[in-house]
Amino acid sequence: MPEYAVLVVDMLEEFVRGRLRAENAEKIVEPIRKLVAFAREKGIPVIYTIDQHHPEIDYEFRLWGPHAVRGSAEAKIISELAPRENEYIVAKRRYDAFMFTDLDMLLRELGVKNLIVTGIHTHVCVLQTVMGAFYRGYTVIVPEECVAAFDNYWHKVGLEYMKNYAGAQIVKLGDLISRLNSELQEMPSPV
Q: Of 168 and 77, which is predicted with more confidence?
A: 168
The mean pLDDT value for 5-29 works out to 89
Which residue, among 126, 111, 14, 119, has the nearest Cα to 66 in the 3D structure?
14
Q: What is the pTM of this model?
A: 0.90
Q: Looking at residue 191, what is its pLDDT?
A: 45
Helix or strand holding residue 90 (H, E): strand 88-92
Architecture of domain 4-186: 3-Layer(aba) Sandwich (3.40)
Domain-wise residue ranges, the chain? 4-186
Supply the pLDDT for residue 129.
Answer: 98
Tell me the per-residue pLDDT of 124-163, one tens digit each, with 9 for 90 and over: 899 999 999 999 999 999 999 999 998 999 999 999 999 9
**Mean per-residue pLDDT for 74-100?**
91
Q: Which of the 8 DSSP states describes residue 123?
A: I
3-state secondary structure 124-139: HHHHHHHHHHHHCCCE
**Which of the pair, 72 or 55, is modelled with greater confidence?**
72
Say if residue 68's pLDDT is above 70.
no
